Structure 1
Amino acid sequence: MNPLLIVGLGPGGRSRLPQENLSALKEARAVLLRTGQHPSADILIEEGIAFETCDDLYDNADTFEELYEGIASRAAALPEGAAFAVPGHPLVGERSVARLLAMRECRVLPAPSFIEVTLEACGEPLSTALQVWNAHDPEGHFPDPRSAQLVYQVDSRPAASEAKLRLMRFFDAEHLIAVVQAAGTQEANVARVRLHELDHFEFTPLTTVFVPPVPIERPHGFYGLVEIVDRLLGPGGCPWDRAQTHETLKKHLLEEAYETLAAIDSGDPDKLCEELGDLLLQPLMHAQMDAIEGMYDIDDVIAGISDKLVRRHPHVFGDASADTADEVLANWDAMKQQERSGQPTSILEGVPDAMPSLLRAFEVSKRAARVGFEWPSVEEVWKKVEEERDEFLRATRSGDAARAQEEFGDLLFSLVNVARWHGVEPEDALRRMVDRFCARFRDMEAAAGKPLRDLSAQEWDDLWRRAKSSEAGDPAE
């Protein structure tokens, strides 16, 4: 079977439709247009070329993916000697063509795309990078303000609004842009407006938007930060940063993690935003230090965690089902076993020895319970607490310090299990309690009026009660 002919119709003006393409359509056994809602369809009518369209699929498809698949399937079923025609250039912005090329052998007759005629209409010489993206998929694109932006398929006010919101994350709202209507036709029109005015127009399938680049030193967002870190670590960078190693940065990673926890506890979103930035810097420093040595970089780190998240969430990205958090965790454990070549491993593998002991105990307890090592009820856990309390007291009375330490550890671990049964995070609970104690003690220091060592037991008690009562919403003892 001969290849299916895919014909580009150009942007809509007769002068932009190559004669070779027009002749091929006249000679075709049958002609299928992706859409008849395009100026090029009128040219075919004038030339006496009969055709059918896929416009009915636009009305019946629930999603764009379903639409493109339907168009490609219809085109793939065309008989030998037929032609499938699309606006513009078949290989530019035509998702149905991308699917069709995977279904059937094809031959493409090119034509001018919306890119050339939009730039021509704007009178914009292209001397920098150009990013081209679909207004119906704004989140799938990450604009770099140093590059010009060309947004196509801005065919409705909602699409324009979504594109505007995406662009305003990277460009100033007052940035001057061009809204281009019907580029490449006699009806071509260009409106120069501010970015925030983008969705104040009437739109058609022939509307495109051109956004000039901004002369900035580095991109906004994450990759701007990557460039800064690379500069700090590179030749001529910061002597302190260049002297760091993974070992010397360990303490800074811990400090920033704890400062982030404090920001979460404070309830201050501005503080949390700041601390998350400080925390983000740490893995970036580690990754880019190894990038200098040619091992891996932050993109490899992101690719690894992205693949892992998709792989371990088949109930979201695949066909598996998990209706509860417990089912998710069970699937997670099974997948981790598979990732280790099916070799049996401990359920406790992956719990870092360096974790804070209370947090580590909580995680170990949770994992053991997930595979069945569990008490039948919380009442039984409380009985275990009483048992460990008695054993600890006997050890202290015997004067055996080593045994007392061991028994106190057993008591703490039992209390961790009580916390787990009641849905309490023990590390978080203890940290918050210590924060409350520190705040109360500082209040007592300020209110004492004399050296603390000179306070009587009653004065200590009064000051403590005063400090507690000054806290809003303080829980009862």
Structure 2
Amino acid sequence: MRASITVVGLGSGDENQLTLGVWKTLQSAGSVYVRTEHHPVIDYLKQNGVAVQSFDGIYESRGSFADVYDTIVGQLIEAAKAGGGPVVYAVPGHPMVAESTTMLLRGRCPDEGIDLTVTGGESFLDQAFTRFGFDPIEGFALIDATALSTEGSAVLDPRMHTLIAQVYDTHTASDAKLFLMDALPDDYEVVVGHELGVTGRERIVTVPLYELDRLEGYGNLSLVWIPRAKDDSVRMRSFERLREIVDILRSPEGCPWDREQTHASIRKNLIEETYEVLETIDDDDPEAMCEELGDLLLQIMLHSQMEVETGTFNVFDVIEGLNEKLIRRHPHVFGDQGASDSEEALQNWNAMKAEEKRKAGIDVAQLSVLSGVPRDLPGLMKAYKLQKKAAQVGFDWERTDEVYAKIEEELRELKEAPEEERTGELGDLLFAVVNLARFLRIDPEEAIAATNRKFVRRFEYIEQKLRESGKSFEQTGLDEMEKFWQEAKKLSKNAGV
């Protein structure tokens, strides 16, 4: 006779939720394994002569739920193979709803030569739909609270009713609260249900979200209901709402200006928004940075939506490609390679880039050393990157004093150059200055940006002083402006900027 395991559901409440079929199976079993004795039906079973063996002790001896469930399944399989009759295993609720051990058994029993039977019982979902009073056909999601602190896969859609199950203590309640606060206002009303369907012990409490982990009484039969949002403003924190808005703007019923735009017409916007983000970084202004990052994201959304309209790709293809690239180029994180420091990590990244080119049919050996530098980078940044690539193969100055000499040479040539050659000579001088920046380990773009900011501060000081004296630029001379400039310079040095 083949070994067998029968998994039955004890229902979500007291014995009144037991199905007749499950009750007959439990009565006819010699003994019953139960995942936990912390369930209202267990006392009823004992009172009616059903012997139970609990796995509660495993919870105390294992470091994670995954280890607990794996150990339980291993012991059940051993018991089934040992003979002595079919193994009956009882779990809270329905065996196929939020029950990891059932899924593990479904995966392992066929390989172990064990027949597996799963018999349903009333799940906590039945009680939730009844006691909270919502219809899941309106849209419904189920989330495991125990996974919220370790997995980032859960996503809340405010348009759907959401149940968070296995909120068994204040720690998991806190994880649920933090997860929900990413998408909902702090005062959004949520409903906590304890021991739904258990006569005399059921409790249902409505609280603002921020109080979710301040409640007492969480246990194995606790869950949280997040009613679907009727106010569309709640969706303002969702990516899907952003995609929807951009789609509307580009639609025939949308904005005439947005509809007219092309990749080319808003090309410069992408650059401008990027620099506005950089400005907020330089100013150490998180509030402004938040806004400007939104403007930059809008450019990505608009370009993606334009391609949706031609049928080439959408923003989810962009995200998919990025996710795949990040995983592929970090084999020291998501694979079996190592990286003890940032230099090794960068080597892995570059190696994967080269491998991607080979797979795309590009002969890496035939590529220029200078390939990969974007054509439209700002001049100083592009010069810096070109020089770094050339230096990697030895085309570089050996000493800093040689670079200083080159700058002096280029400056002389600029002074002596006829007018039609000055543009080229000035470019040569700037290129040499970028070389010096590289030798001094200074980013030339950051250096010129800092000087630009300094110039603006000092010039605005001149404007301020002129306003205070009731003068305009036409009413003052260079000597007076230079005096104010030196005052501003002195103030900047005293302030350390």
Same fold (TM over 0.5): yes
One of 342, 364, 382 as aligned partner of 2:400: 382
C-alpha displacement at 1:472, in angstroms?
A: 6.2
How many Å separate the matches in 2 of 1:406 and 1:173? 56
How many Å separate the matches in 2 of 1:398 and 1:437? 29
One of 413, 428, 432 as aligned partner of 1:411: 432
8 Å Cα contact 1:388-1:410 kept in structure 2? no
TM-score (norm 1): 0.87
How many Å separate the matches in 2 of 1:44 and 1:373? 81
One of 358, 361, 381 as aligned partner of 2:380: 358
Name the residue aligned to 2:113.
none
SS at match of 2:122: coil
CA 1:212/1:392 → structure 2, altered by over 3 Å: closer, same or farther?
Answer: same
Which aligned pairs between 1:230-309 and structure 2 lie closer than 5 A?
230-309=247-326
SS at match of 2:94: coil
8 Å Cα contact 2:404-2:436 kept in structure 1? no
One of 171, 174, 180 as aligned partner of 1:158: 171
Name the residue aligned to 2:414.
396
Q: What is the letter of the counterpart of residue 166 of structure 1?
A: F
Q: What is the letter of the counterpart of residue 62 of structure 1?
A: G
1:344 corresponds to 2:390: no
1:179 corresponds to 2:189: no
CA 1:4/1:242 → structure 2, altered by over 3 Å: closer, same or farther?
Answer: farther
Name the residue aligned to 1:95.
100
How many Å separate the matches in 2 of 1:235 and 1:355? 35
| Deviating more after overlay: 198-207 vs 460-469 | 460-469
1:470 corresponds to 2:471: no
1:190 corresponds to 2:192: no
C-alpha displacement at 1:74, in angstroms?
A: 3.4
C-alpha displacement at 1:326, in angstroms?
A: 0.8
C-alpha displacement at 1:427, in angstroms?
A: 0.9
C-alpha displacement at 1:365, in angstroms?
A: 4.4
C-alpha displacement at 1:129, in angstroms?
A: 0.9
Instruction: Give % identity.
Output: 32
CA 1:190/1:461 → structure 2, altered by over 3 Å: closer, same or farther?
Answer: closer
C-alpha displacement at 1:323, in angstroms?
A: 2.3
Name the residue aligned to 1:335.
352
1:314-348 deviations in Å (ceiling 9; x for gaps) = 33334432221111101111122222346536565
8 Å Cα contact 1:468-1:474 kept in structure 2? no
C-alpha displacement at 1:475, in angstroms?
A: 5.5
C-alpha displacement at 1:181, in angstroms?
A: 1.2
Q: What is the letter of the counterpart of residue 352 of structure 1?
A: P
How many Å separate the matches in 2 of 1:29 and 1:310? 51
1:209 corresponds to 2:245: no
How many Å separate the matches in 2 of 1:367 and 1:100? 56
CA 1:206/1:337 → structure 2, altered by over 3 Å: closer, same or farther?
Answer: same
SS at match of 1:246: coil
C-alpha displacement at 1:412, in angstroms?
A: 2.8
1:67-119 deviations in Å (ceiling 9; x for gaps) = 33333433444425323332111221122333332222333211111111122
Please, which runs of 5 or more residues in structure 1 have no aligned partner?
none
TM-score (norm 2): 0.84
RMSD: 2.9
How many Å separate the matches in 2 of 1:4 and 1:351? 63
How many Å separate the matches in 2 of 1:44 and 1:193? 35
CA 1:61/1:339 → structure 2, altered by over 3 Å: closer, same or farther?
Answer: farther
Q: What is the letter of the counterpart of residue 191 of structure 1?
A: V
Please, which runs of 5 or more residues in structure 2 have no aligned partner?
111-115
C-alpha displacement at 1:384, in angstroms?
A: 3.1
How many Å separate the matches in 2 of 1:26 and 1:381? 90
How many Å separate the matches in 1 of 2:225 and 2:415? 82
Q: What is the letter of the counterpart of residue 163 of structure 2?
A: L
Q: What is the letter of the counterpart of residue 364 of structure 2?
A: P
How many Å separate the matches in 2 of 1:73 and 1:299? 41
1:22 corresponds to 2:39: no
One of 77, 82, 95 as aligned partner of 2:87: 82
How many Å separate the matches in 2 of 1:56 and 1:348? 64
How many Å separate the matches in 2 of 1:95 and 1:229? 40
1:246-283 deviations in Å (ceiling 9; x for gaps) = 11111111111111112222222221111111111110
C-alpha displacement at 1:473, in angstroms?
A: 4.9
8 Å Cα contact 1:395-1:407 kept in structure 2? no
1:147-201 deviations in Å (ceiling 9; x for gaps) = 1121111111121122123323433444333221111322322223333332222
1:226 corresponds to 2:227: no
1:144 corresponds to 2:144: no
Q: What is the letter of the counterpart of residue 436 of structure 1?
A: K
How many Å separate the matches in 2 of 1:247 and 1:229? 18
One of 442, 447, 450 as aligned partner of 2:460: 442
8 Å Cα contact 2:139-2:161 kept in structure 1? yes
SS at match of 1:89: coil
How many Å separate the matches in 2 of 1:112 and 1:318? 42
How many Å separate the matches in 2 of 1:252 and 1:406? 27
How many Å separate the matches in 1 of 2:44 and 2:380? 76
Which aligned pairs between 1:310-321 and structure 2 lie closer than 5 A?
310-321=327-338
SS at match of 1:227: helix
Which aligned pairs between 1:22-171 and structure 2 lie closer than 5 A?
22-27=23-28, 31-80=32-81, 81-105=86-110, 106-138=116-148, 139-171=152-184
Report the number of matched residues.
468
How many Å separate the matches in 2 of 1:133 and 1:299? 23
How many Å separate the matches in 2 of 1:348 and 1:21? 72
CA 1:83/1:473 → structure 2, altered by over 3 Å: closer, same or farther?
Answer: farther
How many Å separate the matches in 1 of 2:167 and 2:431? 65
Q: What is the letter of the counterpart of residue 236 of structure 2?
A: H
8 Å Cα contact 1:145-1:220 kept in structure 2? no
How many Å separate the matches in 2 of 1:176 and 1:438? 49
C-alpha displacement at 1:133, in angstroms?
A: 1.0
C-alpha displacement at 1:238, in angstroms?
A: 0.9
C-alpha displacement at 1:373, in angstroms?
A: 4.2
How many Å separate the matches in 1 of 2:31 and 2:445? 72
Q: What is the letter of the counterpart of residue 359 of structure 1?
A: M
How many Å separate the matches in 1 of 2:327 and 2:395? 31
CA 1:357/1:13 → structure 2, altered by over 3 Å: closer, same or farther?
Answer: same
